[in-house]
Amino acid sequence: MDEDDLPRRRGDAAAKLSTESLDSYSQDELDDRICLLEAEIARVKAHRERAAAHRLAADALFKPRS
C-alpha cells in the first residue's frame, strides 16, 4: 500500500511544530511563522463554527416531536 493511501495521523503536524527548535529563525521569519499560524487558527475556528452550525441544523431536523 502506498503511503499516500494511508490515513493521516491527526495532530501529527501540530506536534512536530511544537517540538521544532526556533533558534535558527530570524525575527522576520518568526513574524512570518506567526502570521501563518494565526491564519491556520482562524481557518480551524471557522471550520469548527461551520461544523457546529451543521450539527445544530441536523439536530433540529431530526429532533423528535413532542
Segment 20-44, tens digit of pLDDT: 999 999 999 999 999 999 999 999 9
Residue 17 lies in a domain: no
Which residue range(s) make up the domain with 55?
25-66
**Total domains present in the chain:** 1
Whether 6 is covered by a domain: the verdict is no
Position 63 pLDDT exceeds 80: yes
- Establish if 60 belongs to a structural domain: yes
Distance CA 38, CA 52 (A): 21
Phi, psi of 59 (to 5 degrees): -60, -40
Q: Is residue 63 a part of any domain in this protein?
A: yes
Q: What is the pTM of this model?
A: 0.69
9 conformational bin, left if phi > 0, alpha if psi -120 to 50, beta if neither = beta
Answer yes or no: are the C-beta atoms of 30 and 22 closer than 8 Å.
yes
The SS3 assignment for 46 reads: helix
